[in-house]
Structure 1
Amino acid sequence: MKPPAGTSAEEGTAELLQVVADPVRWRILTLLAGEQLCTTHLQDLLGAKQTLVSHHLKVLREAGLVDTEPCGRFTYYRLRPGALDGLAEVVAGMAAASRGDVDRRAC
Structure 2
Amino acid sequence: YQTEKSLKDHRDALEEAEASTIEGRIMELRQAIEGSDVADIRAKTEALQEASHKLAEAVYASASQSSTATPGTGDGTSSSDDEVVEEGDYEVIDEEEEAARRD
Alignment TM class, shorter chain as reference:
under 0.3
**TM-score, normalised relative to structure 2:** 0.27
Higher strand share: 1
TM-score scaled by length of structure 1? 0.26
